[in-house]
Structure 1
Amino acid sequence: MNAGFGRIGLGSFVRKGEKRPRPQPPASVWLNRGFLWLLAAILVGGAVWLLTAPSEGNVAQTESVKLALASVDSAPPTTAPDTSAADAAGLDRMKISSQTWRRGGLGSKALVTFTVRNDNDYAVKDVEIVCAFSRRDGSHLTDRSRVLADIVGMKSRKTFARVPVGFVNVNADQATCSLVTARRA
C-alpha cells in the first residue's frame, strides 16, 4: 500500500522553526528582464523624439535671418517717413554693450546675457537680436534669433540675463549677438 509519500523527497523535510530557502531564479532571467527594460526605454525615447517639434535650427530660419540682416544693412535711407519707418526705431543709436553666453538644458541650449544700450530720445520695445555661433577655429555653425518684448527706456540701458535663444550645435564655442530691429514704445 502506498500512502502518497512517494513524491516527497528527503530534502523537502524541514525541521520545526527553520525556514525553507527560496529558490533563486537563474541569471539568465535577470539578463532577459534587463534587456526588456532597455528595449522599452529605447522605444519610449524614440517615440518622444519623433513626437517633439523639430529644432529651431532649420535651414529656412537660418536663411531668413541672413536675409533680415542683409535688408537692415543695405536699406537705403528714406527721406519721407512711411508707415513702416514710423514703427521702426533708430538702430544707429542702439547697441549691445556687453554680452556673454553659456550652455543650459543639458548643454543643448544657448543662454545669452547681454546689455542693450538705448541712446535714443524715446523708449524702444520688441528688440530683435540674432546670435551667430561658431566653432573654436571661427567657422560659422548656426544663427539663432529672438524677439524681446521688454521696453528699454530712453537714454538708458537694460540687462537681459540668461535669455534662451535656441538649440546650438555641440561644437559651438563662440557667440556674437547683434541687434536686428526694434520699435518705438
Structure 2
Amino acid sequence: MNARLDRIRLGRFAGTGERLARALTVASVSFGRGLLWLLAAIIVGCGIWMLLPLSRGSSAEPVKSDLKADLAAVEPAAPEDAAVVVSPTAEVPASAAADLDHLRISSQTWRRGGLGSKALVTFTLRNDNDYAVRDVEIICAFVRRDGTPLTARSRVLADTVSMKSRKTFARISVGYVNVNADQAKCSLVAARRA
C-alpha cells in the first residue's frame, strides 16, 4: 500500500496513520486501566465511609447525655448512703451491699479484640474489706483522642474477690466500642458481699 501512495507522494501520510492507530490503541488500554483504578478507589472509599461513625439522621447529643447519665451512676455513694448501693440495672439489698470505699481498681489497661470492634479490659481489683465480695459491676467510659466522650459499657463480674486481697481480671470483654475510641476509664458501680 505504501508503494501506491509513494507514487503520488502520500506515503508519509500512510505512516502517520499507522502511528496514530497505535497511539489510539495504547491510549484506550491506558484509559481502561485508569477506569479500573477509579472503580477500585470508589470501592475502597465506600468501605471506609461505611466504617466511619457518622450520625446518619441522629444527632450526637443523645449519646453524650446517655454517657453523662451512665457516668453519674459511676460516682461512689456518699457515706450516709453507704447502706444501699444502687446499680443502673437493679437494686441491691442493704444486707448484701458491699462498701465501695474499700474496693478499688488499682491498675487497668485495655486493647481491641474481635477485629477491632470489641474492648478487652485488663484490671486489678483490690479488696480492703474484712469480707469477700462478688458480683462486682464495672462501667468503662471510652473517649476519643481529643477527650470527646464516645460510649460507656458496663459489665458484671461473677467472680469472688477474697477479703484483704487483690485479683486480676484479664481481657474481660465489656462490649462493642466505637472505632475512634482511644482511651478507656473503668470505675466500680456496685458489689455484693460473698
After superposition, the Cα gap between the structure-2 partners of 1:134 and 1:77, relative to the gap in structure 1 and judged at 3 Å, is same
Q: Is the 8 A contact 1:62 1:144 kept in 2?
A: no
> What does the per-residue CA deviation read over 1:10-64, in whole Å, with 9 as the maximum and x for residues that have no partner?
xxxxxxxxxxxxxxxxxxxxxxxxxxxxxxxxxxxxxxxxxxxxxxxx9697576
**Letter paired with 1:171:** N
Structure 1 alignment gaps of length 5 or more = 1-57
CA, structure 1 residues 164+61, in 2 after alignment: closer, same or farther (shift >3 Å)? farther
Say whether the 8 Å CA contact 2:74–2:187 is kept in structure 1. Answer: no
| 1:148-182 C-alpha deviation (Å, 9 max, x unpaired) | 00000000000000000000000000000011100
Equivalent residue letter for 1:165: V
Q: Do the aligned partners of residues 139 and 64 (structure 1) sit closer, same or farther apart at CA in structure 2, a change above 3 Å counting? A: closer
The residue correspondences of 1:114-133 to structure 2 (distance < 5 A) are 114-133=123-142
Q: Secondary structure at the match of 1:161?
A: strand
1:36-47 residue pairs with structure 2 within 5 A? none
2:81 to 77, 83, 91: 77
1:12 counterpart residue number:
none
TM-score, normalising length from structure 1? 0.61
Q: How many residues align?
A: 125
Structure number with higher helix proportion: 2
Structure 2: any 5+ residue segments left out of the alignment? Answer: 1-61, 85-91
d(CA) in 1 for partners of 2:67, 2:152: 6
Following the alignment from structure 1 to structure 2, what is the Cα–Cα distance between the partners of residues 77 and 107?
40
TM-align CA RMSD: 2.5
Report sequence identity in percent: 66
1:159 to 163, 168, 171: 168
Q: TM-score, normalised by structure 2?
A: 0.58
Alignment of 1:55-94 (within 5 A): 62=67, 65-66=70-71, 68-69=73-74, 72-73=76-77, 76-77=80-81, 84-94=93-103
1:86–1:109 Cα change, 3 Å: same
Check if 1:150 corresponds to 2:154.
no
Distance verdict in 2 for CA 1:124–1:61, change over 3 Å: farther
Match of 2:186 among 168, 177, 184: 177
Q: Name the SS of the counterpart of 2:73 in structure 1.
A: helix
How many Å separate the matches in 1 of 2:82 and 2:192? 17
The partner residue of 2:105 within 92, 96, 113 is 96
The runs of at least 4 aligned residues of structure 1 exceeding 2 Å deviation read: 58-70, 72-80
